[in-house]
Structure 1
Amino acid sequence: VFLSAPQLGEFKLFGEEYVAVIKVKGEISSGSAVGIFGTQGIDQTIELIRKAEKDPLAKAVIIYIDSPGGEAGASEALYYAVAELAEKKPVVAYIEGLGASGAYMAALPANKIIASNSSLVGSIGVYSTVIVVQKLLEKVGVQVYVYKSGELKDIGSPFRNMTSEEARVMQEIVDNLFKVFKARVEKHRGKLPEEVFTGRPFVASEALKLGLIDKIGNFQDALSEARKLAGLPSTAPYKELKPEAPSLFNIFGGGASKALILPKYVILTMWPPPQTVIISP
């Protein structure tokens, strides 16, 4: 039997088949910690996906998304985890608020993509930000000496302006990653208008017309779809799978320390852009 409650995640499992719910919220980043900067380490999310995949009682999975995307590598890892899950169990992606860029990529392998009426969807694209502090360092009298094995080894260095060749290489990297992203969209959603690949987000009604989503609805609609795909009765319960609570070190130690590191560059599949680019060393 199940003890039911009206709020998401308040169900207690005792052996009945159910729909698993896994949330993807905030910026997607590599690692496992959920930090104070609104980032979600992808390792724990993938662990939850594996857990749902292995649980014979979890007959379907809802990936509950409210995320702008994030690091390209982390978004890709999440995409592959959802794709592997979808090969074994019905998956419904539900977008509530924001399902942009890398977060939308993660939704692609789902059997159905449903978005709430007020959600923003899409922003398919890749970008990279390079911060240069050369003039600032010169003002305070700091000189930086770099010894490198190749001309492009320190590409994206914040200590000097980029050369035209480095700018060309960075653009080439972004373009190549975008081609991969676009190919994934077309693999799962078919041929779409070029408008969807400009990087802009769309309101749910436009996203539906353009083929980015399958339906506009609320969480209950997503739950009904998941039950239907899994052949479960309309009364089948659901349960939110949650990661373990982060330690104080992860929240205030590991997370805060990242803000003190001068970033080099990072490739992002994310919208809107972060006000500051923070990466792990």
Structure 2
Amino acid sequence: MITKGGNGWQRRFHEGRHATTSCTRALFDATVRARVLAEAEGSGTRVEVLQGTEATGLLGDADRVTGVRVRARDAGRAERELPADLVVDASGRGSRAPKWLAELGAPAPREEVVDAGIGYCTQMFRPVEPLDMAMVVQPRPDLPRGAAWSPVEGGNWLLTLGGVRGQHPPTESSEVPGFVKSLGEPALYEHLLTCEPVSPPYGFRDTSNRRRHYHAPGGVPEGFLAVSDAACTFNPIYGQGMAVAALSGLALRGCLAEGACGPVSRPRRSAPWPGRATPPG
């Protein structure tokens, strides 16, 4: 992989020392999901995995969350209630927990937002003659636009474009080559013209960094915990989301092992639980 910044092309990474797995998010998610389900099935765990099911609300009141309301995604759309001593929200950036907590009469957590106004789009291509390297063109002060060109499964390559306010990449296929040309890197532009688009460009604009202060004293009812992107969300370009999710899982495991996430005798809305998993930062 080679990267171009404000000072020109950087030294190419040595393939023998720097390994990168490049694939689509769909393949990555499907692989991880399959491994988790296989491990769960063979482990004798008492955890039940509900597939084709979505959460639609919380059970309980402003003092304690006592479960989750769920709905099947099949034709019947049947709903049912799942009682629980502890509900962990790991539903990501689109978490609806603040709304659900408000419906129980609990205060929604205070939100802290830092929005750089960055927008992205991605489009899949199939090259006639693939390059032998991935390419990254970084934004610079006089041109706050950038691009990444990387191989993925199936012989396809993924083009990711980015830009800040007023410089957002297009979501019309006919406008993508012009955006790439504006980056001032003819090698990528000329190569792109020889490639066949195999998908339309998909835009993404919800890139703000958002922290929900669930960890604040009295921030949530008993029996509820938010982790990873549901609690603290980062702009995807930072590459921190999966690391934060993993760290949240480790913190929660430690919390449960210590018994700190079970019933505790403490005054309502006082100090946070000891060992509670909190958002980073």
TM-score relative to the length of structure 2: 0.24
Bigger fraction of residues in helix:
1
Greater C-alpha radius of gyration: 2
Identify the structure with bigger relative contact order (alpha carbons < 8 Å, sequence gap 6+).
1
